[in-house]
């Protein structure tokens, strides 16, 4: 009768509790990167895929162990690799699963490894032994030959790895939760440079505080590429803010696939600039079309009504897709983009945040972000954040659609469009406010948009409709 060595444990059989604790340790400060690259010898492309686990709300270390485990590696081999890294905290997690004779590695280090094991030759598979055997033979465990070799160049290799890993690193705020279900492909910076003709100004679509947006041709497809302007060497608050917003946008656009939400094709982190690659919108932003920029044709009333419906449809999707609503936080005409059929797509999720659970009316936030003319008082003054912030912002967009005016104009008597609209008598709305560039308004769309807009901007958040009801009103009004 034979028995099996209780310490011969494959990585894929690592108990859940120990695996979870180990992954938490290795995730901290991205220790998994050195383990995977320097010790397990995975290439940069494989480690990029492992690191992408963060965007799916998963542990990169767990992903790494799964990948390494497919090669039938054992817990003992992992224990030895951690010894080479002098990561004794992680070794302590595995200690109960490793033959006690190897525990000396924790206390005395790798230099004693050769004394613990035979002088030459690999570790071998467990040997069968009889229960009644009188000799107490030490069980040998299989491992690679290279685990026995002293690594005299360990310090040099670690320096090289620290330098090279910049090419694969995908920074992420570990305290941030993610709702991402999938991940768009990572694109090399060189590909995007080629796609835009070397960032040629002829392909420039727009410029802002975050950086620049270029039109490009990537894989025979027209795309819009947002490139962060701040250089990577700048570790100031601005760089951190833009990076955080880019990561947030990446997560949310990956998790929210909808006809009225801008499609994200891919991303590029690790080059001179971070980049996000979107579906190209040939008709620009709603703001551009309402102001007839670049000589564009004015929008008709049926088109404006359709744009309002599509935007409301996208917003109500965001608010109802998860256990917590996703609040965009920066709804405005400049962030509503139009495709070749004038179908609206909500873009720029850099300020998006999760809202309160259903039983709560709002959450308190520490800082107010967004565009002032589109934000309600309870958010600006009391920092109360909820889906009703988006409802209010959408109300201002409805006013823009009806009037063709800017949300803020310092040369207007009432600088804020909201105040301008509310200053007009109800009976004078169509005559005074309607954008005449929209042509005949036989279906009284302008008046309906203003009426619904007023409901959306109600002073009290609880009196504003949820976006599901706003969409229902637009579809049946």
pLDDT digits (tens, 9 = 90+) for 290-301: 999 989 999 999
Q: Which of 109-118, 257-266, 267-276, 348-357 has the lowest mean pLDDT?
A: 109-118
Mean pLDDT confidence for 115-131: 42
Mean pLDDT confidence for 372-388: 91
pLDDT score, position 350: 80
* More confident call, 29 vs 474: 474
CATH placement of domain 284-476: 1.10.510.10
Mean pLDDT confidence for 10-20: 91
Cβ burial 40-67 (10 Å sphere, 16+ → b, else e): bebeeebbbbbbbbbbbeebbbbbbbeb
Confidence of residue 184 (pLDDT cuts 50, 70, 90): confident
Confidence of residue 235 (pLDDT cuts 50, 70, 90): low
For tokens 């340790």, the residue is 25
Q: Is the pLDDT of residue 34 over 70?
A: yes
- Alpha-helical (H) ranges within 44-188 are 44-51, 60-69, 75-84, 88-94, 104-108, 113-116, 154-164
Reported as half-sphere exposure (CB side, CA atoms, 13 A), residue 320 has a value of 12
User: Two tokens at 234?
Assistant: 């700048």
* More confident call, 278 vs 153: 278
Confidence of residue 259 (pLDDT cuts 50, 70, 90): very high
Residues of the chain with CATH 3.30.200.20: 182-279
Mean pLDDT confidence for 258-278: 89
Phi/psi for 345 (5° steps) reads -130, 125
Highest-confidence range of 58-67, 224-233, 442-451, by mean pLDDT?
442-451
Q: Is the pLDDT of residue 117 over 70?
A: no
**What fold characterizes domain 182-279?**
Phosphorylase Kinase; domain 1 (3.30.200)
pLDDT score, position 240: 64
Q: How far is CA 252 from the centre of its chain?
A: 5
CA distances from 36 to 18, 157, 447, 459 (A): 19, 13, 62, 55
pLDDT score, position 230: 63
Positions marked active-site: 330
CA distances from 187 to 211, 269, 270, 384 (A): 18, 8, 10, 38
The mean of the pLDDT values for the chain is 81
Q: Is 211 left (phi over 0), alpha (psi -120 to 50) or beta?
A: left
Q: Which of 204-213, 281-290, 337-346, 459-468 has the lowest mean pLDDT?
A: 204-213
What is the percentage of the chain residues whose pLDDT exceeds 90? Answer: 48
Q: Which of 159-173, 263-277, 320-334, 356-370 has the lowest mean pLDDT?
A: 159-173
Q: Which of 10-14, 221-225, 353-357, 442-446 has the lowest mean pLDDT?
A: 353-357
pLDDT score, position 202: 94
pLDDT score, position 108: 60
Residues of the chain with CATH 1.10.533.10: 11-110
CATH placement of domain 11-110: 1.10.533.10
pLDDT digits (tens, 9 = 90+) for 406-450: 999 999 999 999 999 999 998 888 889 999 999 999 999 999 999
Q: Are 337 and 262 in contact (CB under 8 A)?
A: yes
pLDDT score, position 360: 57
Confidence of residue 45 (pLDDT cuts 50, 70, 90): confident
Please state, in angstroms and rounded to a whole number, the distance separating the CA atoms of residues 23 and 32: 8
* More confident call, 25 vs 165: 25
Please state, in angstroms and rounded to a whole number, the distance separating the CA atoms of residues 152 and 62: 29
Residue 282 carries which DSSP code?
T
pLDDT score, position 431: 84
Reported as half-sphere exposure (CB side, CA atoms, 13 A), residue 271 has a value of 17
User: Two tokens at 411?
Assistant: 């040369």
Q: Is the pLDDT of residue 126 over 50?
A: no
The partner residues of 266 in beta bridges, in order of sequence, read: 277
pLDDT score, position 165: 45
pLDDT score, position 145: 44
Please state, in angstroms and rounded to a whole number, the distance separating the CA atoms of residues 25 and 183: 24
- Alpha-helical (H) ranges within 256-383 are 286-290, 301-320, 377-382
Residues of the chain with CATH 1.10.510.10: 284-476
Terminal-residue alpha carbon distance, the chain: 82
Q: Is the pLDDT of residue 147 over 60?
A: no
* More confident call, 212 vs 185: 212
Mean pLDDT confidence for 134-146: 42
What is the percentage of the chain residues whose pLDDT exceeds 70? Answer: 77
Residue closest to 380 by CA, chosen among 337, 345, 329, 332: 329
CA angle 409, 410, 416 (to 5 degrees): 55
pLDDT score, position 324: 83
* More confident call, 106 vs 407: 407
3-state SS of the chain: helix, strand, coil percent to 5? 50, 10, 40
Please state, in angstroms and rounded to a whole number, the distance separating the CA atoms of residues 78 and 90: 10
Residue closest to 446 by CA, chosen among 308, 240, 270: 308
User: Two tokens at 340?
Assistant: 């070749």
Q: Is the pLDDT of residue 63 over 80?
A: yes
């Amino acid at each position: 009768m034979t028995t099996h060595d209780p310490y011969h444990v494959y990585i894929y059989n690592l108990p859940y509790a120990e695996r979870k604790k180990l992954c938490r340790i290795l995730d901290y400060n991205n220790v998994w990167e050195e383990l995977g690259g320097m010790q397990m010898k995975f290439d940069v492309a494989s480690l990029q895929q492992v690191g992408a686990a963060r965007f799916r709300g998963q542990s990169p270390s767990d992903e790494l162990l799964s990948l390494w485990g497919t090669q039938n590696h054992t817990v003992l081999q992992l224990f030895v690799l951690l010894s080479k890294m002098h990561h004794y905290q992680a070794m302590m997690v595995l200690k109960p699963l490793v033959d006690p004779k190897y525990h000396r590695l924790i206390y005395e280090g790798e230099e004693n490894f050769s004394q613990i094991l035979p002088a030459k030759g690999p570790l071998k598979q467990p040997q069968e032994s009889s229960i009644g055997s009188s000799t107490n033979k030490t069980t040998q465990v299989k491992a690679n030959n290279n685990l026995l070799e002293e690594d005299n160049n360990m310090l040099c290799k670690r320096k090289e790895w620290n330098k090279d890993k910049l090419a694969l690193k995908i920074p992420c705020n570990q305290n941030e939760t993610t709702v991402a279900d999938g991940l768009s492909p990572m694109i090399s910076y060189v590909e995007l440079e080629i796609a835009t003709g070397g960032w040629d100004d002829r392909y420039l679509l727009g410029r802002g505080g975050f950086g620049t947006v270029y039109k490009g041709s990537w894989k025979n497809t027209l795309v819009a590429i947002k490139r962060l302007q701040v250089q990577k060497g700048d570790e100031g608050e601005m760089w951190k803010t833009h990076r955080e917003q880019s990561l947030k946008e990446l997560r949310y656009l990956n998790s929210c696939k909808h006809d009225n939400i801008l499609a994200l094709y891919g991303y590029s982190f690790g080059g001179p600039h971070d980049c996000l690659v979107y579906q190209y919108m040939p008709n620009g932003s709603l703001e551009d079309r309402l102001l007839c920029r670049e000589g564009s044709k004015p929008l008709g009333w049926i088109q404006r009504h359709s744009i309002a419906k599509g935007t409301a449809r996208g917003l109500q999707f965001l608010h109802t897709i998860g256990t917590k609503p996703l609040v965009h936080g920066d709804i405005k005409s400049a962030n509503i983009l139009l495709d070749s059929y004038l179908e609206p797509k909500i873009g720029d999720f850099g300020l998006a945040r999760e809202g309160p659970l259903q039983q709560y009316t709002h959450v308190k936030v520490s800082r107010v972000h967004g565009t002032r003319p589109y934000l309600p008082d309870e958010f600006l003054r009391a920092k109360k954040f909820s889906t009703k912030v988006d409802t209010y912002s959408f109300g201002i967009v409805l006013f823009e659609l009806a009037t063709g005016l800017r949300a803020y104009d310092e040369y207007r008597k009432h600088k804020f469009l909201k105040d301008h609209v509310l200053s007009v008598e109800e009976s004078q709305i169509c005559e005074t406010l309607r954008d005449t560039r929209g042509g005949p308004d036989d279906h009284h769309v302008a008046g309906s948009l203003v009426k619904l807009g007023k409901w959306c901007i109600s002073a009290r958040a609880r009196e504003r409709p949820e976006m599901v009801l706003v969409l229902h009103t637009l579809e049946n009004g």
